[in-house]
Amino acid sequence: MGADASGLVNLTPAFSPLYQQIKGLILQSLQSGEWKPGEAIPSEMDLAARYRVSQGTVRKAIDELSAENLVVRRQGKGTFVATHAEQQVQYRFLKLQPDSGNVQSEGPAERTIIDCKRLRASAEVARALSLRSGDPVLQVRRVLAFSGVPTILEDLWLPGSPFKGLTAERLSGYHGPMYALFETEFGVRMVRADETIRAVNPDAEQARLLLVSITSPLLSVERVAYTYNDTPMELRRGLYRTDTHHYRNALS
């Protein structure tokens, strides 16, 4: 970067490294559904031939995609599109841990759908989902229980168009993780999320659903989950009981 005769600084465009460009092309194929969740992607050799680059460049691109949990390497088998149906991906988005044992030993949550309705987005929900106020959204309320004890109360808002046809019956009848349902039946894959955590007390209705008093300390976890290209696809507000569970996040 230098200055011209007028003393103004010349700004030259920044070019991304080649492996980043290849990563972007692979992401395009993931987003378009060329390779579905759980399916193997082409080998590094085939991708190198496809994009006319070295295998080392492809490997570096896949390294980043793997670090971001978008693909999964399996020794001796190849590289696969990550799916929320896999156990290690399921628990990536669930940070609540039992005080004794772990989420695997605790087993899957018992889920009760309290409500599932279509409505118009409030200004707050529209802002979180990059919609316009009044756009159609789906609101879901559910309770997750462990060993018969209601532990998590969740309210979710989803953009109406991508989730057309989602009903309380479909949610209740699906026994895998909710994000796996979104993936397999609606073609929406959540790839990352931002969370905000606060300590709160429940209101009377929340306390009733969680079987706690209105003075009980709860964790309020607000999450915005995104699909490819940082497109928000879910606003989720969860209330977590803390008498038998704790929130755990491994930082690296």
pLDDT of residue 91: 44
The H or E element spanning position 226 is strand 218-227
Q: In 10 A of CB 161, how many CB atoms?
A: 11
Average pLDDT for 53-77: 90
**Distance between first and last Cα of the chain:** 35
pLDDT of residue 90: 45
pTM value is 0.78
Which one-letter DSSP state was computed for residue 181? H
Instruction: Identify the three-state secondary structure at position 25.
Output: helix
pLDDT digits (tens, 9 = 90+) for 215-228: 999 999 999 999 98
Residue that the structure tokens 């992401």 belong to = 27
Say yes or no to pLDDT of 54 above 50. yes
Report d(CA 124, CA 27) in Å as an integer.
30
pLDDT of residue 69: 82
C-beta of residue 87 within 8 angstroms of C-beta of residue 111: no
Burial (CB count <10 Å: 0-12, 13-18, 19+), residue 79: buried
